Structure 1
Amino acid sequence: MNLETPKKFRGLVNQAHQVAEHYFRPISRKYDKAEHAYPKELDLLAALLDGMNAGSPDAIGATSASKRGAAREQQEGIKNGGNMSALLGVMELCWGDVGLLLAMPRQGLGNAAIAAVANDEQLARFGGTWAAMAITEPGCGSDSAAIRTTAIKDGDHYVLNGEKIYVTSGERADSVVVWATLDKSLGRAAIKSFVVEHGTPGMSVTRLEKKLGIKASDTAAISFSDCRVPAANLLGNPEIDVQKGFAGVMETFDNTRPLVAGMAVGVAKASLDRTRELLKKVCKLDYRAPLLSVSHAEATLYRLEAEWEAARLLTLKAAWMADNKLPNSKEASIAKAKAGRVANEVTLKCVELAGALGYGEDELLEKWARDSKILDIFEGTQQIQLLIVARRLLGKSSSELK
């Protein structure tokens, strides 16, 4: 694994960084204070990204995060494809603002789910949609297998009934990828994902959540009452494979968890960069000096930078494995667990190192600290990631190790 940014992606990375610095940062505080207001500035940016990404599997957005791109590659040897490009773009954009990245049209986690498991016909049909992802339910958070939303086959449709909560972009997105069970008696093997377009009768947004951070992004609760969805909107294989179990649906996370880890890496780097600038006014920041001979603030910054680098490399590895068609479920969870925890520690410590300046709204440090907390929670909590890693290392199933 080459640890340098692949040459073919350096242009994309530079473009993403320019967007973060000159587009996201200037409006970051505005939409942090105006929760639930849609950032209109993102419409133009989304159109520009669509043009940049047109026809390219190596694009910035969530739609390129899939093992499918690696399957189309014909050349031999190591590949850097859609997962790596999406990750590198996400890292840079979240250096600007996590909430605004999550609010970007057509870059929802549902788009990554479609890219991961949809068939060719569905990819073509949903290519221009903005898709949110609806998994969590009241009383069913970390245990995705406990989903109670049902999908009952009725002719050429499925009828959905249930409630979803904490749906990122749930109100603004064009459609929502909904996880539901075809047969509760068959357990997790019967859980499938469906693309449900906004405006479908029986689907309604019941409330918007008020949050600690990522306020530029809307987070919705959605109910489904006899909501009829075309059978063609079921992503992947409609057959229930008890032997394969939950694996088909869970493959989505192999692609999305590295992206969430990348968000954490991005916001942590933003905090480190700004704190380094502030400390330069009072510290020498000599990286050649032994830790015992520097101030506590310097030593703390160096330790945080080392933790950040570890999280970054683990995250790159998970995406690289996906591009090279290697099983990466364990590595995706390792990256998500490490990066989420590191982002929380780094952003809070940077507020502490900056003192009163870091706590005030004149700086974005306090905002980054608030934004970072969700990155250790959604797409599977820290505790769930560690449990998944333990299962992979010990060769245990979810029923054997809870």
Structure 2
Amino acid sequence: MYLEIPRKFGAIVHQAQQVARSVFRPISRKYDLAEHAYPQELDMFAAIMDGMNDGAADGGAGAGKLARSGGKPSEGNVNGTNMKTVLGLTELCWGDVGLALSIPRQGLGNSAIAAVASEAQLARLGNTWAAMAITEPGAGSDSAAIRTTATLDGDHYVINGEKIYVTAGERANAVVVWATLDRSKGRAAIKSFVVEKGTPGMAVVRLEKKLGIRASDTAAIRFDNCRVPKENLLGDPEISVDKGFAGAMQTFDNTRPVVAGMAIGLARAALEKTRELLAPVGLEPDYQLQTWQQPAVIRELQLLEAELEAARLLTLRAAWMADNGQPNSKEASMAKAKAGRVGNAITLRCVELCGSLGYGETELLEKWARDSKILDIFEGTQQIQLLIIARRLLGKSSSELK
């Protein structure tokens, strides 16, 4: 594995850096304080992100390409959409995580569409801004426990249920809803459906007030006899143990490295700001000296830098595997678990090291500490990632190792 960033992505990384520095950072505090206010400044960046992702957000195109090629690995070394998206969002989240999640047409639902949609569905829904609705009041980390139902009625499916913690649920043009066709058949009956905004029977009932990422809206949505055309079911409508739930879960193998990249960008911002605040008092790292020869605070920063670099390399590996058609479920969870935990730990430690500057609103350090926690939770909590890793290492199924 080459550890250098592919040269062809240099322009994209630079572009994302410019957006993060010149647009996100100046308005970061504004939209943190004005929770639920839509950041109008982001409308112009939808086209930029389309260019970064070739029209598919959150790395989902990599999954889609793999699925439609029969799951065969590519010949040679490929650095494609997954790697590009990870690198781009890492830089954007160096600016602001909530704003990065609020860019039009960059929802998690877009990734699901790209991963399992047919060619006809991609042509019809490819430019739709789609949120993802999985979590329910009684079903969180165990996605297989969802109770929202989808019943076939002629040319439509009738959806009933409630979804919570839907990122961009109010702003997006559509929501990808996970629902079961038959509760008695377990996870194999779970399918995903594209429900377009304004469909009768679908209603946003609440916007959540949150600890962090306040620029991003998080909605609760209720479905009451919501009729969705049959052609809006993503993937195979047949209930199959091999293809049903596994096809839906494939989305996460591509999006977990993306969330890991977001945590890396945020943690890097906190480390850079901490070094900047400590430099005027003579506390600067000297990498030619051993850590025990330097002040305790510098030793602490170097240990945090090492943890961040480990998370970064795990993330690049997981994204590279996705681009090259290699099964990466274990590696995606490893990257997400490491980066989520490290990102939160680094931001909190930076707040402590900077004292009053870290705790007050003079700097963005306290905001970054709040924002970082969600990156250790969504796309699967720390505990769920460790469980997935254990299953892959031990060769156990979900029923054998709970």
Q: TM-score, structure 2 length as denominator? A: 0.96
- State the AA in 1 paired with 2:12: L
Give deviations 1:170-229, integer Å, cap 9, x for gaps: 000000000000000000000000000010000000000000000000000000000000
Aligned counterpart in structure 2 of residue 67 of structure 1, from 57, 63, 67:
63
Aligned partner of residue 160 in structure 1, secondary structure:
strand
CA shift for structure 1 position 113: 1.0
CA shift for structure 1 position 247: 1.0
CA shift for structure 1 position 288: 1.4
Contact 1:64 1:86 in 2 (8 A): no
- State the AA in 1 paired with 2:16: A
Question: 1:149 maps to which residue?
Answer: 148
Q: How does 1:74-223 map to 2 (within 5 A)?
A: 76-223=75-222
CA shift for structure 1 position 47: 3.3
CA shift for structure 1 position 45: 1.8
Q: CA RMSD in A?
A: 1.6
Aligned partner of residue 62 in structure 1, secondary structure:
coil
Q: Distance in 2 between matches of 1:121 and 1:60?
A: 15
Q: Distance in 2 between matches of 1:243 and 1:196?
A: 25
Contact 2:31 2:214 in 1 (8 A): yes
Contact 2:148 2:178 in 1 (8 A): yes
Q: Distance in 1 between matches of 2:340 and 2:101?
A: 16
Question: 1:4 maps to which residue?
Answer: 4
Give deviations 1:345-384, integer Å, cap 9, x for gaps: 0000011111111111110010000000000011100000
Q: Report the identity percentage.
A: 71
Contact 1:65 1:86 in 2 (8 A): no
Moved more, 358-367 or 280-289: 280-289
Question: 2:277 maps to which residue?
Answer: 278
Moved more, 362-371 or 271-280: 271-280
Question: 2:250 maps to which residue?
Answer: 251
Give deviations 1:91-113, integer Å, cap 9, x for gaps: 00000000000111000111111
Q: Distance in 1 between matches of 2:269 and 2:187?
A: 39
Question: 1:287 maps to which residue?
Answer: 287
CA shift for structure 1 position 63: 5.8
Q: TM-score, structure 1 length as denominator? A: 0.96
CA shift for structure 1 position 273: 0.9
Q: Distance in 1 between matches of 2:75 and 2:252?
A: 26
The unaligned stretches of length 5 or more in structure 1 are: none
Contact 1:63 1:107 in 2 (8 A): no
Give deviations 1:226-256, integer Å, cap 9, x for gaps: 0000110011111111244521110010111
Q: How does 1:230-379 map to 2 (within 5 A)?
A: 230-244=229-243, 246-282=245-281, 283-379=283-379
Question: 1:38 maps to which residue?
Answer: 38
Contact 1:67 1:116 in 2 (8 A): yes
Aligned length: 398
Q: Distance in 1 between matches of 2:192 and 2:214?
A: 27
Q: Distance in 2 between matches of 1:288 and 1:37?
A: 48
Return structure 1 stretches of 4+ with deviation > 3 angstroms. Answer: 47-50, 68-76
Q: Distance in 1 between matches of 2:131 and 2:365?
A: 28
Q: Distance in 2 between matches of 1:160 and 1:344?
A: 37
- State the AA in 2 paired with 1:79: V
Q: 1:270 to 1:260 in 2, by over 3 A?
A: same
Aligned partner of residue 224 in structure 1, secondary structure:
strand
Question: 1:13 maps to which residue?
Answer: 13
Q: 1:245 to 1:49 in 2, by over 3 A?
A: closer
Q: Distance in 2 between matches of 1:65 and 1:366?
A: 35
Q: 1:88 to 1:246 in 2, by over 3 A?
A: same
Contact 1:90 1:262 in 2 (8 A): yes
